[in-house]
Chains A and B, each alone.
Chain A
Amino acid sequence: MTPAARRWVFFAGIAGLAAFYLWGLSGLPGFGRYPGPYGFVINHLAVAQTNATGVVSAVNFEYRGFDTVGEEFILFAAVAGVAVVLRHLRGEREKPALDEAADRDVPATSEAVRVVALLFTGPVVLIGWWLASHAQANPSGGFQGGVVLATAFVLLYLSGEFLVFRRLSPVAVTDAVEAVGAGGFVGIGLAAVAMGLPYLKNYLPLGTVPGAVSSSGTIALISFFVGLEVAAAFVLVVSELLDQTLLIRRGGS
């Protein structure tokens, strides 16, 4: 099929889809007219039941905890897939000579980038840690905190300190941290089963003040483990890709 014919078929298809979609929209309540009831019910009950003022995190790790385990393992499997696909490549390319890059001119990182990146690495780690451990109070949580933590490691690489980045995140340690994060989440749920409760039931003391760091039982703990796992997963992805791109350049830098 020629590209032009493909384009026309696409336009016909998308016009049909848009027509159906807009026809369906005309029968639904408009934007901003949310009819409920689940949103209203959860907003009304969540703080009283779990002592967590961050209702979204309560939904993620308590009311809907089973689905979040599934999503976290999608992340785990995707990163395992990246590692498998790229490590196979690395086994073949390890052989080319390092002196192929002897006369390659690698431009040094500019001073401005180095200063800014190194200056912000510490605060970014702090912010990521804070986000991962305060899920029950603020719009934070394991997923956001983990991504911000991974960004701190990327900042290290961007400032030109690739060797420091490698030393701070060896593949074995990152793998182990990711496994601890993913296994920890499931382990908390299984500990509930061992106590005779349903899987992933909130069995830790709920605390007295809603929204305090020590309140809301397992929600804070699960969010911390999720933060570990997400951070380790993204650091692993970036370091695998960096191994691919910088294998030869390592001799010349």
Chain B
Amino acid sequence: MKTLLILGAGTGGTMMANKMASTLDLKEWRIIIVDKDETHYYQPGFLFIPFGVYRPEDVVKPKRNLLPKQVEVVFGDLELIEPEKNKVTLKDKKTINYDYLVVATGSCIYPDETPGLREGWHQNIFDFYTPAGAAKLHDFLETWQGGRFVLNVTEMPIKCPVAPLEFMMLADWYFQKRGIRNKVELVYATPLPGAFTKPICSTMLAGILKTKNITVFPEFNIMEVDNSKQVIRSYDETEVPYDVLVSIPLNKGAEVIKNSGMGDSLDFIPTNKHTLQTDKWENVFIIGDAGNVPASKAGSVAHFMLDIVAENMLSHMKGQEMHASFDGHANCYIETGFNKAVLIDFNYDVEPLPGAFPLPGVGPFTLLGESVINHWGKLAFKWIYWNLLLKGRDIPTVHSHMSMSGKKPVPALKSQKI
């Protein structure tokens, strides 16, 4: 009997377990998945919790129910991965030997990496990347009477690079709904040179932010938080004052990657961006954002990686060449408030373009433009996530590789710098 071991039962690990349980010959293979947490969180839902759209209980399900019966589920903390020995050790000293390993340990926030960030933590400084942070922020905002509301991204890359923008646009909507928008100043301080990472999309989103009176403070690289003066300070000594600071702290890979010496300077594992096999170990693959591939750290990306990882791993198991190639495909709904959203679809080489999605000329979704239907797409995604995505099933008409059909190139903007 051979063993396929999957580390992490989040978005990537769960879909991988489901996919492999229906693909591998289970008379020959046993599949084990390890995770420390028995609860699965619908992470795209965290964004909505501070504004009362979702409650914390709306975004959770027991992990066991999302995994197939044939998969052995082990709940426990990982201590060490020894890829040279094909062995994983848990904190309780239980060891698991494997023939193939899929690392799906994702990325986490590390607030302790920024001096001063912990000082007013969950008092006037919040995060919304954890269920606890999002819930605390919701409680705080309900009675807040206004002031300077600053969102800061510590350092790129972060999980879901559009989340900060969505957060600010939802904040604009939320404070209007509460009737205190005129008492709130919304400021977005980012290390990026503009609103987003890709030029055409950045220009378009900058326009939307401007109409919503959200100030963007670009190229702000935070050095420290001084909560006694209520300012964040950058490496070039610029200060941005705040009354409430919402931080997206440094994102890094899991502790176990660091402890096992497998990662880069941010504890992401060096991985071939097309085959999704790790650079150093041929029987170790990556799904989701545990690797260092230059794609967005998002659930849709993990979904588009799934078939590629499965196909390449099966080829490798048979001693064949790996032919499947990941193109960096990402597909993100960006909430813009007032029941509208923008949809973007892009990959390693093609930045988000305007058009219709997924059917050319028909849609129903509008690419790189605001629409109400896009917003319903975003909310419907929660159903798709639990019922199709995690099960490793295809989403009708949306494929692993990005399609150019329905997209309109924008030559005029191509030369524009951000």
- A and B, one complex? no
B interface residues with partner A (beta carbon < 8 Å): none
A interface residues with partner B (beta carbon < 8 Å): none
